[in-house]
């Protein structure tokens, strides 16, 4: 029965030369989480999901930092935005060698954070570790490497060491770099920016829940800006391999434990068929040189819980919707807004995300496109004009389309 259900030709799948993902199918495992996690009421899904994992090790430290940061800005009656940024990973093994990742460099989140800071917000920047950060992003791309902005000045005449001069910023970059440096220093010295990293989807969920609850004293001064690309599928901890999944046959004395799985729960990850290894299943079988079939469960949509439970009353929630098919974008963004009853969905397409976004709002005009004019696209490192649009909307300028806004083509 399992073999039939996982028949690759009969199911939606993403394939890779050696890895086959089968997704969105009910699991046959006896895990406490499957098969109904995606069908549960949001509060029940929350309790089941969060019981599956130990909280991330860094959570208590992050909570302490966030509490102090929030207290400071509550005192100052300042608005605080939680910006989420970057992609979450789905580990295939508890001691993780392989993982599935979501697309996101962190450009949108890091750029938006800078604009929020400019608008007077304090920013909690919950980001994928090593993704782009506000301010440093200007110099951390490989195409925008900080070393290309530097020069070695000639040694100062008469100085003791004539072998080398000081490192200086090249003349043509002085103005721009000074501007970025000043903003960065201002944010740092005035405690306006708190950087908190995550890696896995579970870490992201724990952090999001904790931060939202900690933000309650902010009331309507809290804003959630969810630009992170969050995994929709995962392997529950109880079905995850403990060790690296083996791709080649092991001698009998090594089979059934290590490579095939055996997490803390005693569950195993790899089930062998004739041609395939299944991970995310419960039976122990040795791995061999075969396809890897990954059985993923849906991650509950915690936007529900954020809006209805975790976030402070009166706060504003903005989510993003990423699509690749232009015919689906507005429909999916509208559906998300209706489903979660929050304030704004910003839709973007993978291919055009840097110069056009669509704002979907509950109030008129309901759909508003914001585009960076062609002439300015080459200068725009990322989608920055959409943040200007967001600022306009927050100021109550709901109806007026900015000079760069246009109606969407049909």
Contacts with ligand PMT, residue ranges (CB under 6 A): 104-108, 226-230, 232, 299, 301-303, 319-322, 348, 353, 382
Alpha carbons 21 and 361: distance in angstroms, whole number? 35
Smaller CB separation from ligand PMT, 271 or 299 = 299
Closest distance between ligand PMT and the C-beta of residue 321, in Å? Answer: 5
Pick 271 or 333: Cβ nearer ligand PMT: 333
Tell me the closest approach of the beta carbon of residue 172 to ligand PMT, in angstroms. 27
Nearer to ligand PMT, 121 or 224 (CB): 224
Closest approach of ligand PMT to the CB of residue 87, in Å:
7
Q: Compare residues 286 and 389 and give the one whose CB is closer to ligand PMT.
A: 389
Token representation of residue 227: 């630009």
| Alpha-carbon distances, residue 3 vs 222, 249, 278, 316 (angstroms) | 49, 21, 10, 46
State the minimum distance, in angstroms, from the CB of residue 301 to ligand PMT: 4
Alpha carbons 238 and 233: distance in angstroms, whole number: 15
Query: How far, in Å, CA of 40 to CA of 53, rounded?
Result: 18
Strand 344-349 relative to strand 316-323: parallel, antiparallel, unpaired? parallel
Residue 113: phi and psi, rounded to 5, are: -60, -40
Q: Give the nearest distance from C-beta 109 to ligand PMT in angstroms.
A: 6
> Toward ligand PMT, which CB reaches closer, 205 or 287?
205
Least gap, CB of 323 to ligand PMT (angstroms): 8
How near is the Cβ of 293 to ligand PMT at its closest, in Å?
Answer: 22
Q: Are 405 and 372 in contact (CB under 8 A)?
A: no
Sign of the C-alpha dihedral computed for residues 255, 258, 263 and 268 taken in this order: negative
Question: CA–CA separation, 401 vs 368, rounded Å?
Answer: 8
Residue 385: name the closest of 355, 341, 344, 340 by CA.
355
Min dist CB 219 to ligand PMT, Å, is 22
Query: What radius of gyration, in Å, describes the C-alpha atoms of the chain?
Result: 24
Show Cβ contacts of residue 206 under 8 Å, excluding neighbours closer than 6 positions: 50, 53, 55, 56, 59
Residues with Cβ within 8 Å of 100's Cβ and at least 6 positions away in sequence, in order, are 21, 89, 90, 92, 231, 233, 294
């Amino acid at each position: 029965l399992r073999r039939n259900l996982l028949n690759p030709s009969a199911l939606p799948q993403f394939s890779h030369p050696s890895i086959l993902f089968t997704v969105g199918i009910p699991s046959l495992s006896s895990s406490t989480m499957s098969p109904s996690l995606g069908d549960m009421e949001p509060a029940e899904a929350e309790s089941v999901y969060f019981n599956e994992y130990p909280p991330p090790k860094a959570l208590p430290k992050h909570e302490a930092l966030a509490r102090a940061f929030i207290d400071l800005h509550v005192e100052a009656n300042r608005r605080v935005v939680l910006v989420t940024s970057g992609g979450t990973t789905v580990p295939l093994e508890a001691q993780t060698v392989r993982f599935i990742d979501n697309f996101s460099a962190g450009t949108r989140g890091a750029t938006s954070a800078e604009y929020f800071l400019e608008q007077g917000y304090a920013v909690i920047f919950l980001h994928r570790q090593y993704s782009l950060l506000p301010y440093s992003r200007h110099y951390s791309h490989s195409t925008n490497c900080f070393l290309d902005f530097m020069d070695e000045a000639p040694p100062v005449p008469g100085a003791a060491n004539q072998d080398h001069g000081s490192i200086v910023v090249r003349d043509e970059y002085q103005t721009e770099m000074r501007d970025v440096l000043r903003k960065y220093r201002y944010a740092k010295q005035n405690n306006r920016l708190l950087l908190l990293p995550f890696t896995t989807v579970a870490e992201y969920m724990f952090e999001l829940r904790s931060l939202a609850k900690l933000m309650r004293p902010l009331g309507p001064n809290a804003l959630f800006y969810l630009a992170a690309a969050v995994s929709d599928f995962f392997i529950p901890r109880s079905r995850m391999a403990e060790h690296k999944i083996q791709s080649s046959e092991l001698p009998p004395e090594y089979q059934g434990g290590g490579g095939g799985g055996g997490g803390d729960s005693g569950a195993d990850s790899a089930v062998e068929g004739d041609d395939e290894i299944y991970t995310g299943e419960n039976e122990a079988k040795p791995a061999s040189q075969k396809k890897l079939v990954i059985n993923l469960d849906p991650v509950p949509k915690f936007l529900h819980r954020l809006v209805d439970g975790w976030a402070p009353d009166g706060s504003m929630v903005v989510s993003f919707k990423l699509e690749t098919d232009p015919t689906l974008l507005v429909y999916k963004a509208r559906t998300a807004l209706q489903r979660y009853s929050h304030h704004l969905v910003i839709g973007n397409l993978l291919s055009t995300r840097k110069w056009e976004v669509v704002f979907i709002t509950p109030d008129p005009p309901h759909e508003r496109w914001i585009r960076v004019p062609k002439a300015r696209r080459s200068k725009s490192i990322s989608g920055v004009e959409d943040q200007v649009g967001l600022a306009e909307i927050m100021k109550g300028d709901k109806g007026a389309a900015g000079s760069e806004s246009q109606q969407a083509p049909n």
